Amino acid sequence: MTRIDAKFAQLHAAGKKAFVAYVMAGDPDFDASLDLVKALPAAGVDIIELGLPFTDPMADGEAIQLAGQRALDGGMTLQRTLDLAAEFRKADDSTPIVLMGYYNPIYSRGVERFLTDAKAAGIDGLIVVDLPPEEDEELCLPAQAAGLNFIRLATPTTDDKRLPKVLTNTSGFVYYVSINGITGSAEASAVDVAPEVARIKAKTDLPVIVGFGIKTPERAEAIAAVADGAVVGSAIVSEVAKGKSTAEIAAFVKSLADGAHRA
């Protein structure tokens, strides 16, 4: 059982929905980013999504693109991202960390070496948005063999014919993208999301977590009410971009987490 599996079992037993927070590793710099990641569990975050900076983030909107660029400009690399996770793990051995990014940096490092190092750093799962199920032998299957969850995205355009393929070899949870388009580009609607979540849950026993387009505690509550939890990324990253302190950002995150946990 991974930390992700254990966290969902714990939440289910407590009758609670999950709140997942995305932050970009190294934004605005290594130390500030590490301080924020360390503050997330106390702010109510159940699972941390740690963004891996990349030069061509095709699924991300402006806020996360700029966050990645700030991190890269500050010298953030795949190795430094793993170092950040390892530093976090020194004080927290229970909060799951999902590394979210693109395949190129992983490929450049070499899959076997990457998986060994990611496991050693305390990474629990991967979301690699540009690797479709047809490429499972490339990273998904080796990751699962190494004890890492491989989390797949489903979208409004994932029809009933495609869905079984998307769910094959997925573990940890299913990440449902609530809108068509890039991150931060529109607001998620619980009315639209509810039937899609139900459609996915009819095909899998995995938790279904909804992300993209959730910016307020009220929206986090509404979305979590029709799913197994909610993810917020761009809204948090935008607070970082404003130069707010760790305490101020953590207070904002707590308001979002409280919303999801009310569901």
Give the whole-angstrom CA distance, residue 28 versus residue 128.
23
Comparing CA positions, the residue from 229, 235, 132, 120 lying closest to residue 187 is 235
**Two tokens at 230?**
């909610």
Known active-site residue 49: yes
Give the whole-angstrom CA distance, residue 210 versus residue 207.
10
DSSP 8-state assignment for residue 46: S
Q: Indicate which residue of 60, 117, 124, 221 is catalytic.
A: 60
Comparing CA positions, the residue from 34, 24, 12 lying closest to residue 183 is 24
**Two tokens at 42?**
């106390």
Q: Indicate which residue of 27, 46, 49, 124 is catalytic.
A: 49
Q: Rounded to 5, what percent of the chain is helix, strand, coil?
A: 50, 15, 35
Comparing CA positions, the residue from 225, 221, 226 lying closest to residue 256 is 221
Tokens 């890269």 sit on residue = 72
AA letter at 253: V
Known active-site residue 239: no
H/E run at residue 229? strand 229-232
Task: Count CB-CB contacts under 10 A for residue 241.
Answer: 17
- Catalytic positions are 49, 60
